[in-house]
């Protein structure tokens, strides 16, 4: 059953206020609701319908009179008075039996909720849609020592706690947590002097892993004041860590709930990457308080209104806290690695989709990351000052609203006087635009001609030209920049731009800073790329020049049996030796394109990717680099050494990243000696885990894996790493057997999404192992997805997307993947979530 954007109709009533009472019991929680409804003057007349799923109705009354609503699997309808009325309702639910981790459920004996997008309907009957906003008052009754909900605390006493949230909100922002929790407390004073109590709530034993998250929270609160003028608006801000959680975290008003992997951190148990991710997610959820909560979405088609903007804001925050170029390169990697495949395959959808069956399937890289890129383009086009003006107007005009993309763009039009009707195509057209470039040079005039084409995507055969902000610089043949970065606005299918008064034919540096999420198709000689690698002033393009040389090199090795490109490697070596460059940047420079990315590019260029050939080429290149750089490596290792106590700051993180790149190559020369030494002496998880990875790759892992397991068997988050790494670092011919064996390990708790993802997601992320020619990995994945679907449709559907690239491969692999998808599709009582995903993938 498909829902369409064009069918939007407002709900027939407004909700004046909501009073909820929870009588907690694992198998039989009672939820009592008292809700004042008033007719909505802006809505067409309609039947009174409340969403409700898996609820046992105990009693319902209108204005004190018992009523007998008509129930269905989706909710209930009921005859109601013409004017305002009071709805009272009692239902029973069983949180302990809720394995879908949506609605009210239990994790390690603790009650918690996840309501976005449509989980509140599993708690009580309600108009569970984001445009219905109301003030919630909550009473929680139970023996649990800690009982939390949204807003400010009210009365508490023996066996109960009350909460009142003064800010009207949609039901998806509701949250409740109750259990035996301990807190890491702190305080923050806002710019207008509001004293806010801050807490991170965790299971006893995890208190020592909260300090970093708390610092990140305070930095986020300050940053949002400084940069966006946004102040926090309650007396308390609570964060709770939950072990069983389908996603990263959730921005419930005043009570953010986090996957424990996205908040708990300590040097001994968390890697640098974990620390960075935690800082970014804490910021993301906090920033939602304005972009998401104070201004929410009218309907779920507008999801990118809050997610794209909030991802954009958290990226700005990370760029400010750490290195802006490094963050930009990481985001471009993310776009190419995760969003482009989505945009170029059967799951392609616009940033603002126009239909869906299950909204949970649209929390995607396209909505989030491309949604953020679209805002970045908008900012580039209007400039920083006008962006700030537009955002002020947005907060001013729409505070308290459930808004749309039209509202968002109108704000920019009003603030800047620009017509954004063509720009809006970024929200409605799916697919990655491809931009080709030709050059012309005559008598001091240099002309760049761009042609853009967006390939067809499901349901969208024809595409119109989009507005592409193309940041360009020009370099002289001697390496000097003769044209600093300037923004060309491409709006036509074909369009030229000229530069006059040049003394020599320049070398162009295009798409600087990854100024638009497009694929550049340009015949560039190796010499020119090498020139940009050496001279470009734009860090992203310098990195990209090397990446593209790497792509060309590997593709030549794969398709023509060529030997590695030594000119590239020597140019790269000069960059790596330049100790004026940030180690973090050099670590990124050292990285080569992933095997999945190579497969994507090969496909883009009309080749059928051969996973084994890709694996072999990547191995050959790595071995070649290790040998060629044998005397560079010790020098870099010395530069990467940190002789201060561990800190996850940008400087140390950069050094360790460089060190990890070096160790991977070093291991190819010394068979794992250096890795073993690092493993034995490591006093932090980053060094310990990189060393373990190298040992696994070198096949010297038996002892180290056992030692690691013995050391960390009681730490769930570290054990997730232990499970994942053994597969991620395994040789392609043994990874699936390893994964299979690990699913039999006593600690493989397949109902825990983090653990399930570590093993099965780890296998799917290993390109050559996942695509093993006999189809063993496809089959194992299908088996487990079929098993998980009954319990947890959301995580199953999300993981099913690992098959989205299936049509790229050779006939045998295609047949095997199709068979796996068909087997999933044929499962009895397949969930709507998974059903929609496999149908879309098979439709191709």
Looking at beta carbons only, is 367 or 742 nearer to ligand ARG? Answer: 367
Judged by beta carbon distances under 5 to 8 A according to partner kind, the member of Zn ion, ligand ARG, none in contact with residue 247 is ligand ARG
**Token pair listed for 32:** 């009592």
> What backbone phi and psi angles, to 5 degrees, belong to 13?
-135, 155
Q: How far is the CB of 70 from ligand ARG (least distance, A)?
A: 28
Helix (H) or strand (E) holding 164: strand 160-169
Partner whose footprint covers residue 360, from Zn ion, ligand ARG, none (CB < 5 to 8 Å by kind) = ligand ARG
Footprint (CB under 6 A) of ligand ARG, residues 362-391: 363
Q: Which is nearer to ligand ARG, 247 or 377 (CB)?
A: 247
| Contact present, 807 and 814 (Cβ < 8 Å) | yes
Which of 351, 361, 292 lies closest to 798, judged by CA? 361
Nearer to ligand ARG, 297 or 572 (CB): 297
Residue number, 24 or 247, with CB nearest to Zn ion? 247
Token readout for 298 is 């009218």
Question: Pick from 113, 220, 269, 360: which binds ligand ARG (CB under 6 A)?
Answer: 360
Phi, psi of 85 (to 5 degrees): -155, 160
Within residues 111-150, the interface with ligand ARG by CB under 6 A covers 116-117
DSSP 16: E
Q: Which is nearer to ligand ARG, 48 or 368 (CB)?
A: 368
CB of 284 to Zn ion, least distance (A): 5
Closest to ligand ARG by CB, 300 vs 387, is 300
* Strands of the sheet with 507-509, listed across from one edge: 481-490, 468-475, 507-509
Burial of 79 (0-12, 13-18, 19+ CB in 10 A): exposed
Contact 209, 226 (CB under 8 A): no
**Residue number, 294 or 772, with CB nearest to ligand ARG:** 294
Site string for ligand ARG, 391-430 (x = CB under 6 A): ----------------------------------------
Minimum CB–partner distance for residue 287 and ligand ARG (Å): 10
Could you tell me the smallest distance in angstroms from the CB atom of residue 307 to ligand ARG? 6
Q: Where are the beta strands (DSSP E) in 459-535?
A: 468-475, 481-490, 494-499, 507-509, 519-521
Residues 6+ apart with CB under 8 A from 434: 452, 453, 454, 455, 518, 519, 521
Tell me which stretch binds Zn ion (CB under 5 A): 267-275, 299-307, 483-491, 582-590. 299-307
- CA dihedral (266, 709, 796, 284) in degrees, to 10, reads 10
Residue 24 or 297: the one with the smaller Cβ distance to ligand ARG is 297
Mark the segment that binds ligand ARG (CB under 6 A) among 144-152, 246-254, 419-427, 540-548. Answer: 246-254
Measured from the CB of residue 28, what is the shortest distance to Zn ion in angstroms?
Answer: 33
70-78, 249-257, 350-358, 698-706 -> range binding ligand ARG (CB under 6 A): 249-257
Q: Is 330 a catalytic residue?
A: no
| Residue 390 C-beta: closest distance to ligand ARG, Å | 23
Closest CB 124 distance from ligand ARG, rounded Å: 19
In the β-sheet with 176-179, what is the strand arrangement from edge to edge? 103-107, 110-114, 176-179, 146-149
Rank residues 313 and 600 by Cβ distance to Zn ion and give the closer one. Answer: 313
Q: Give the shortest CB-114-to-ligand ARG separation in angstroms.
A: 7
Binding mask 78-117 for ligand ARG (x = CB under 6 A): --------------------------------------xx
Among 251, 276, 331, 597, binds ligand ARG (CB under 6 A): 251
Query: Side by side, which strands form the sheet with 75-77?
Result: 49-51, 75-77, 70-71
Strands 134-141 and 13-23: parallel
Beta strand residue intervals within 335-467, DSSP E:
355-356, 402-403, 434-442, 445-453
CA-nearest of 198, 174, 171, 175 to 187 is 198
Select from Zn ion, ligand ARG, none the partner in contact with residue 132, using the beta carbon and a kind-dependent cut-off of 5 to 8 Å. Answer: none
Query: What SS3 class is residue 604?
Result: helix
Stretch that binds ligand ARG, among 244-252, 624-632, 659-667, 765-773 (CB under 6 A): 244-252
Instruction: From the list Zn ion, ligand ARG, none, pick the one residue 14 interacts with, judged by a Cβ distance below 5 to 8 Å according to partner type.
Output: none
For residue 113, the cross-strand partners are 104
CA distances from 268 to 261, 531, 647, 648, 682 (A): 14, 42, 11, 12, 9
Least Cα distance to 724 among 765, 779, 667, 782 occurs for 765
Residue nearer to ligand ARG on the CB measure, 307 or 701: 307
Q: How many CB atoms lie within 10 A of CB 833?
A: 22
Q: From the candidates 144, 162, 251, 285, which is the catalytic residue?
A: 285
Whether 256 and 286 have beta carbons less than 8 Å apart is answered as: yes
309 vs 617, beta carbon nearer ligand ARG: 309
Considering only 242-250, 315-323, 470-478, 719-727, which stretch makes contact with ligand ARG by CB under 6 A? 242-250
CA-nearest of 55, 82, 20, 8 to 69 is 55
Binding residue for ligand ARG, selected from 161, 198, 250, 664, defined by CB under 6 A = 250
By CB under 6 A, residue 247 contacts ligand ARG = yes
Q: For residues 310 and 686, which CB has a smaller minimum distance to Zn ion in the complex?
A: 310
Q: How far is the CB of 498 from ligand ARG (least distance, A)?
A: 44
Contact partner at residue 538 from ligand ARG, Zn ion, none, CB < 5 to 8 Å by partner kind: none
715 binds, among ligand ARG, Zn ion, none (CB under 5 to 8 A by kind): none
Element (H, E) at 805: none
Site mask for Zn ion (CB under 5 A), range 309-348, x = bound: -x--------------------------------------
Alpha-carbon gap, residue 724 to 87, rounded angstroms: 49
R_g of the chain, CA atoms, integer Å: 27
Q: Give the one entry of ligand ARG, Zn ion, none that residue 326 binds, where binding means its C-beta sits below a cut-off of 5 to 8 angstroms depending on kind.
A: none
Q: Does 224 bind ligand ARG (CB under 6 A)?
A: no
How far apart CA 596 and CA 151 sit, in angstroms, is 45
Site for ligand ARG in 260-289 (CB under 6 A): 284-285
- Tokens coding 135: 């003030």
Q: Is the peptide bond before 510 cis (omega within 30 degrees of 0)?
A: no
- Please name the residues in contact with 755: beta carbons below 8 A apart, sequence gap of 6 or more: 716, 719, 720, 723, 747, 748, 749
CB 289 → Zn ion: shortest distance, Å?
11
C-alpha to C-alpha distance for 771 and 445, rounded to whole angstroms: 50
Q: Provide the CA 687 distance to its chain's centre, in angstroms.
A: 25
Closest Cα to residue 287, out of 246, 229, 347, 336? 229
Spatial contact of 123 and 174, defined as CB atoms under 8 Å apart: yes
Q: Distance (Å, rounded) from C-alpha 633 to C-alpha 577?
A: 10
Closest distance of CB 653 from ligand ARG, Å: 23
CB of 363 to Zn ion, least distance (A): 9
For Zn ion, the closer of residues 113 and 416 by Cβ is: 113
User: Closest residue (Cβ) to ligand ARG?
Assistant: 363
Tell which one of 60, 132, 240, 249 touches ligand ARG (CB under 6 A): 249
Asked whether 76 and 49 are in contact (CB, 8 A), the reply is yes
Size of the site for ligand ARG (CB under 6 A): 11
In the complex, least distance from residue 523 CB atom to ligand ARG, rounded to whole angstroms: 40
**Total number of residues binding Zn ion (CB under 5 A)?**
2
Site for ligand ARG in 290-349 (CB under 6 A): 307
- Residue 187 backbone phi and psi in degrees, to 5: -140, 160
Enumerate binding residues for ligand ARG (CB under 6 A). Answer: 116-117, 247, 249-251, 284-285, 307, 360, 363
Q: Active-site residue numbers?
A: 285
Enumerate binding residues for Zn ion (CB under 5 A). Answer: 307, 310
């Amino acid at each position: 059953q498909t829902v369409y954007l064009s069918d939007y109709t407002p709900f027939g009533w407004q909700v004046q206020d909501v009073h909820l009472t929870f009588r907690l019991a694992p198998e039989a929680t009672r939820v009592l609701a008292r809700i004042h409804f008033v007719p909505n003057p802006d809505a067409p007349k309609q039947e009174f319908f409340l969403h409700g799923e898996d609820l046992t109705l105990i009693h319902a009354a209108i204005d004190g009179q018992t009523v007998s609503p008509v129930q269905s699997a989706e909710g209930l309808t009921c005859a109601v008075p013409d004017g305002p009325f009071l709805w009272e309702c009692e239902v029973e639910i069983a949180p302990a039996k809720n394995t879908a981790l949506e609605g009210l459920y239990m994790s390690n004996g603790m009650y918690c909720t996840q309501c976005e997008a449509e989980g509140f309907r599993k708690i009580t009957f309600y108009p569970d849609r984001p445009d219905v906003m109301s003030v919630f008052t909550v009473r929680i009754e139970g023996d649990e020592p800690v009982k939390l909900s949204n807003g400010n605390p009210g009365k508490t006493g023996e066996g109960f706690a009350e909460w009142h949230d003064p800010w009207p909100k949609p039901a998806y922002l509701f949250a409740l947590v109750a259990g035996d929790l301990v807190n890491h407390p702190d305080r923050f004073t806002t710019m207008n002097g509001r004293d806010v109590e801050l807490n991170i709530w965790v299971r006893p034993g995890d208190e020592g892993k909260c300090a970093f998250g708390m610092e990140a929270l305070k930095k986020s609160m300050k940053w949002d004041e400084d940069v966006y003028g946004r102040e926090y608006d309650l007396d308390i801000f609570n964060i709770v860590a939950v072990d069983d959680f389908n996603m990263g975290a959730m921005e419930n008003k005043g009570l953010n709930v986090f996957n424990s992997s996205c908040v708990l951190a300590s040097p001994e148990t968390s890697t640098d990457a974990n620390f960075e991710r935690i800082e970014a997610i804490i910021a993301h959820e906090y920033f939602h308080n304005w972009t998401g909560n104070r201004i929410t979405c009218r309907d779920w088609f507008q999801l990118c209104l809050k997610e794209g903007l909030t991802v954009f804001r958290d990226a700005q925050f990370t760029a400010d806290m750490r290195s802006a170029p490094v963050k930009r390169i990481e985001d471009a990697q993310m776009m190419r690695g995760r969003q482009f495949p989505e945009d170029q395959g059967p799951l392609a959808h616009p940033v603002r989709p126009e239909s869906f069956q299950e909204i949970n399937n649209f929390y995607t890289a396209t909505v989030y990351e491309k949604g953020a890129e679209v805002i970045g383009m908008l900012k580039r086009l209007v400039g920083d000052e006008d962006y700030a003006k537009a955002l002020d107007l947005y907060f001013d005009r729409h505070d308290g609203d459930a808004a749309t993309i039209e509202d968002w763009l109108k704000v920019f039009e009003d603030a800047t006087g620009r017509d954004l009707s063509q720009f809006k195509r970024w929200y409605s057209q799916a697919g990655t635009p491809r931009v080709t470039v030709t050059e012309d040079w005559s008598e001091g005039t240099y002309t760049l001609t761009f042609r853009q084409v967006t390939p067809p995507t499901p349901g969208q055969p024809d595409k119109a030209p989009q507005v592409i902000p193309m940041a360009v610089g020009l370099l002289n043949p001697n390496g000097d920049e003769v044209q600093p970065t300037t923004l060309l606005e491409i709006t036509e299918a074909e369009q030229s731009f000229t530069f006059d008064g040049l003394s020599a034919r320049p070398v162009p540096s295009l798409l600087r800073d990854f100024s638009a999420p497009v694929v550049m198709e340009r015949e560039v000689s190796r010499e020119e790329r090498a020139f940009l690698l050496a001279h470009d002033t734009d860090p992203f393009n310098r990195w990209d020049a090397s990446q593209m040389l790497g792509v060309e090199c590997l593709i030549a090795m794969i398709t023509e049996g060529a030997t590695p490109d030594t000119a590239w490697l020597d140019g790269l070596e000069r960059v790596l030796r330049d100790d004026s460059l940030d180690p973090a940047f050099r670590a990124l420079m050292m990285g080569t394109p992933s095997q999945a990315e190579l497969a994507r590019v090969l496909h883009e260029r009309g080749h059928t990717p051969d996973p084994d050939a890709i694996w072999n080429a990547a191995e050959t290149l790595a071995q070649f680099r290790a040998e060629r750089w044998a005397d560079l490596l010790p020098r870099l290792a010395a530069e990467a050494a940190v002789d201060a106590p561990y800190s996850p700051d940008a400087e140390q993180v950069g050094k360790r990243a460089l060190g990890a790149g070096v160790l991977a190559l070093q291991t190819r020369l010394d068979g794992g000696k250096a890795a073993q030494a690092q493993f034995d002496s490591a006093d932090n998880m980053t060094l310990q885990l990189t060393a373990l990875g190298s040992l696994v790759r070198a096949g010297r892992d038996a002892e180290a894996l056992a030692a690691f397991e013995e050391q960390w068997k009681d730490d769930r988050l570290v054990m997730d790493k232990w499970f994942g790494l053994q597969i991620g670092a395994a040789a392609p011919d043994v990874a699936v057997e390893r994964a299979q064996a690990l699913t039999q390990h006593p600690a493989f708790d397949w109902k825990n999404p983090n653990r399930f993802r570590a093993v099965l997601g780890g296998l799917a992320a290993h390109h050559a192992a996942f695509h093993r020619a006999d189809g063993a990995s496809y089959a194992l994945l299908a088996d487990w997805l079929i098993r998980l679907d009954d319990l947890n449709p959301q995580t199953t559907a999300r993981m099913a997307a690992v098959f989205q690239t299936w049509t790229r491969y050779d006939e045998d692999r295609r047949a095997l993947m199709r068979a796996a998808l068909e087997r999933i599709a044929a499962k009895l009582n397949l969930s709507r979530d998974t059903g929609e995903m496999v149908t879309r993938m098979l439709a191709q």
